[in-house]
Amino acid sequence: MTATPSSPPVRSRLSLSWLGVVPFLAFALLFLILPTMKIVVGSFQDNSGALTLANIGNLFQPSILSAYWISIRISLASALLGCFFGFLVAWAFILGGLPRWIRSPLLTFSGVASNFAGVPLAFAFLATFGRLGLVTLILRDWFGVNIYALGFNLLSFGGLTLTYLFFQIPLAILIMTPALDGMRREWREAASILGASGFQYWRIVALPILWPSLLGTFALLFANSFGAVATAYALTGSSLSIVPILLFAQIRGDVLQDPHLGYALAFGMIVITGIANGIYIWLRAHGERWIK
């Protein structure tokens, strides 16, 4: 009887295969897990390193609660508008009958724009909608419309929400595209055969299927907006008291410096964004059952 050659040990193959994810694991450990642990631990310590709940208690100061409320309102507004317009754009080029060639450049632009933030984005909006911005001057000199005299202010709640929409809408497009791609033509045909109108199809069939994806997109956009700091700080400075700017002032400022209160502020942001991301993951898993 001929002996069969022995196969190489499975354990060695598995151990070597893990080498491919070592850079990712190291990156996640150094720049995500360890900093998060430092923030969580620091929020429950005082300047001497002793455990305390004073930092968490200080979060209930009126000024800090107001900053959280403004951040939540901006995040809700930008997430709602971003989800709405992102859905309309994604529907237009997937199910709305637009030419197929539009899809590729639009998704490419969305991938770039969804990551365009910070100082470059703030400068772009100042150059466009600032008091001497291009659009502001065109509206004033050509059409006689002074948007600042009408109450618009880029360095305000509405201005920051408008700026956030630049990356919120493309992100919504990227998230909603797979969900709309998963809508099967047979569902629409079956509804038509049964006598359903277009409105009835969307109300009874399409929207209930897309609802988890829409809510998940909203939750992710909320978390994305709530954690944005560079754009808000570069655009408004300290003129708008939101949590990321208040956090920056506590950790890096010369007057309001209290690192452990800053850790507590960051801990509160982690809790809020963690809840939003958890809702997104759960709703996405629920929505993917229909796509499959």
207-252 pLDDT, tens digit each? 888 888 888 899 889 988 988 877 887 887 767 788 888 877 777 6
b/e code 53-62 from CB counts within 10 Å (16+ = b) = eebeeebeee
121 has pLDDT over 80: yes
Q: What is the pLDDT of residue 253?
A: 59
Res. 162 pLDDT band, cuts 50 70 90: very high
Q: What is the pLDDT of residue 211?
A: 86
- The mean pLDDT value for 86-96 works out to 89
pLDDT in tens, 170-217: 999 999 998 888 887 788 888 888 888 878 888 888 888 888 888 889
Higher pLDDT, 38 or 292: 38
- The mean pLDDT value for 85-104 works out to 88
Phi, psi of 51 (to 5 degrees): -70, 140
Domain spanning 62-291: CATH 1.10.3720.10 = yes
Angle at 181 between CA 93 and CA 102, to 5 degrees: 25
Higher pLDDT, 11 or 283: 283
Amino acid code (one letter) for 35: P
Please tell me the distance from the alpha carbon of residue 243 to that of residue 262, in angstroms, as a whole number.
Answer: 10
Q: Nearest Cα to 171, choosing from 61, 82, 285, 259?
A: 82
142 has pLDDT over 90: yes
Q: What is the pLDDT of residue 13?
A: 54
| Residues in Cβ contact with 114 at an 8 Å cutoff, skipping those fewer than 6 apart | 167, 170, 171, 174
Query: What are the sequence ranges of the domains in the chain?
Result: 62-291
Token look-up 């809700």 returns 76
Q: Nearest Cα to 158, choosing from 69, 85, 70, 63?
A: 70
